Structure 1
Amino acid sequence: MNELNAPRTAAGWRDCPASQQPAYPDADALKAVSDDLRSRPPLVFAGEVDALSTQMAAAGRGRAFVLMGGDCAESFADNTADNIRLKLQTILQMAAVLTYGASTPVVKIGRIAGQYAKPRSADTETRDGVTLPSYRGDSVNDHAFTLAARVPDPARMLNAYLRAGTTLNLIRSFTMGGYADLREVHSWNRGFTANPAYARFESFAEEIDRAMRFMEAAGVDFDALRQVDFYAAHEALLLEYEDAMIREDSRSGRLYDTSAHFLWVGERTRGAEHAHVALLRGVRNPVGVKVGPTTAPAELVALIDRLNPHGDAGRLTLITRMGADRIREALPALIEAVRADGRPVTWVTDPMHGNTITSDNGYKTRRFDTVMDEVRGFFEVHRALGTVPGGIHVELTGDDVTEVLGGGEHIEEATLGERYETLVDPRLNHQQSLEMAFEVAEMLRG
């Protein structure tokens, strides 16, 4: 495993326009935290990051499929062993189904161990005539609606670092210690299909069951399947935090953002000449860019110029977030532009963010059927153009929350409040996540 040391920075981003950054009231406190973070060990390592780049390249060629999932915004309060285990279990269950459906390896990436900051549409929030800074995630401020809670505090970045480290340590223990054993994961999925609400997937599960029995009869070494590779990702939103986590690989001299294996920039921060792109341009991690329905083809080519000028396979992932009603219309021109450019990208769909609505009783939510329709549109467009639908990127939790309408168990508007627990955006619950996996697996089978 490569050694990462001698903290350095990706030069140039400070000279670029930067959006979505907290207004810290104490510059000296911010510098002290940044300096502290620069002195601390990396959270991920160069060898792991390079291995993920190789797998993302395979997904771009259709030889693997990416599953990226996790919380909209992690919270310090929910950073518990049980919550981490349940999220990991959900992703492993989904991956087992997708692996069978795709007949290819599934690249497992969690929105985890760092997804503590979120962009907001406004800098302030007003309630009952009181205006305070917006909640920007636990690494910036607190969700409680008080002035003391909402003032950005740089010390929270250090808390986020420490919690990310313990999360990654637990995940490594689970994925290397037998918890991810394929036989165990398959038994969890059999329990899911036993629910009458998901009986339509029972024949698919039986196929997987027969495949497992065949593997056992053929003498497959199941001990070799007890461990899996699992990678961490988050939006590279807080520039000071990401800059402080950059390290130089002592063997290659290359710079890596060691806060996560995979980083992405969002719709609000992806300007080709802006600071977030400039920072990620300087590191070797595989990176993603969220792409909305108003994106112009020339914008994508400009981003490729900045983030992957030499056309390294696996370096750049384009994560489309179009909305179910627009994906079939907006995506083809972007795919054609990227294909004409010729440099490789991996295409992944985020079917969540383009389909957010407000229920009649005031909850921010999504409809499961609409989310799935965007996934279908993503597959339809790629197959019509002869390009590769490389993966899915979803907000989910391992808990039985009631945040997204519909699904096999028919969450309705009247029941949203029963377990609506997200701090920002609605997430698929455990059952809905598995339902999505079975439906996407059927799409992968063609």
Structure 2
Amino acid sequence: MRYWFQSYSPQRKRDETVTAEGGLSSSRFVLFGSSLGFSLAADGLWFILLSWLANRSGTALEASLVIAAGSLPRAALMLVGGTLVDRIGALLTAKATNGIRFLVLSVVTLHAVVGEINVPSLVLYALAFGLLDAIYLPAINSIPAVLVPRAALPAAQGVVQTIERLCMILASASAGLLLAGVGVAGTAAIGAAALLVSVVLLLPVRNGTESQAQTVLPKESMARELWSGLRRVAKDRVVGPLLVTIGALNLALSAPINIGSPRLAIDNGWGESGFGFLLAGFGVGAAAGAIVMVVWRPARAGFWGAVFAAVGAVLVGTIPWVPSLTLAVGLFALVGLCAGPAAALLIGLVQALTPKQFMGRTMALLSFAALGLIPVGYTAFGLLVSTFGAQVAYVSFGCLELAGALFALLVPEIRRASINPMEEVSAGIEEHDSVVDAQ
């Protein structure tokens, strides 16, 4: 099956640039991006606060149960949340769940003011956030697809990736200082205030296309809708394999960065500051790589996304042989520089090729692929390090990432897949969707 074009005429390039830049600079996308930033900052503070309280108030087993109470329901109910997003719309769902998240964190703040938060209370709060995130994450991840033109989706994902990296760095750097300076109640209050700002910024965001297409509840049951979404993704020759690739890339990259970097710093005597520099190097590199996607829009998004991932995989495999902290920070930055464009291009392509009525369920699958297997990756990486050493662990996960990238490159439809805002391409996408639905 032939997919849409691989090259632009100069006039089409100019038209695409104007359209995409207009979408990214529109007030509604700016409001969305600002809301997302405050929401991610609050999420970072909440996760660190939850981990701190769980370890301070209970045993290691109890702390693990608290964290699991938040992560397991989120993973288990993510697809149900995506189905709900497709029923009532991404914007409305995100606004409602974000408001409830603010209320939950406000209750945590009040609890911390009046007394100690014990382990059973932490389990309830973690469970509430996990259930809400199962709906909120598919909703918030679907919003770029209903706010910007199709051609601007990789650039929009570049902005989203940049916001995520910067908020991760900010939350990690400030959480410890806040806990030491203003205590648990003050840290929770700052997180609640950030969520309130996020709610206020998202409220005025409107989108006519979504409201026309998704305000009428479907007649099918939730179970039928969920099954139809899974069936469509499984039959799609581009989106299905892309989700497999994205899941493999996240699984292979998260453990070497988050679990391997502290071990690398300890083994080489770089200490806590060295560990911080490594994470900061990756974050800055990923943010810079994502920013590149705002100004560079390659015709074959699938091909170039896989290429960036393949280069990053090779770099991951070389990390344990770096002799100095300076070179290691630079290498982490290069890994991030490849990860940013890879994520922006591949996720943007998934959104561009997914019909609006299936966006929530598809983004739920993407979120599950990106987050659901990360604990498995952490465990496997730790076992490899303890059994065979860091070099074997890094090389193994580099090979896993490379396998994910090569898998994408071996699928002809992914290599040829492009993002084109022109009407004839939209017709081609609709034809592709009809073929998928008919299979």
Do these two structures clear the TM 0.5 threshold for a shared fold by scoring above it?
Answer: no
Bigger share in strand = 1
- The TM-score, its normalising length taken from structure 2, stands at 0.22
TM-score normalised to structure 1 length: 0.22
Which structure exhibits the higher relative contact order, with contacts defined as CA atoms closer than 8 Å and separated by 6 or more residues?
2
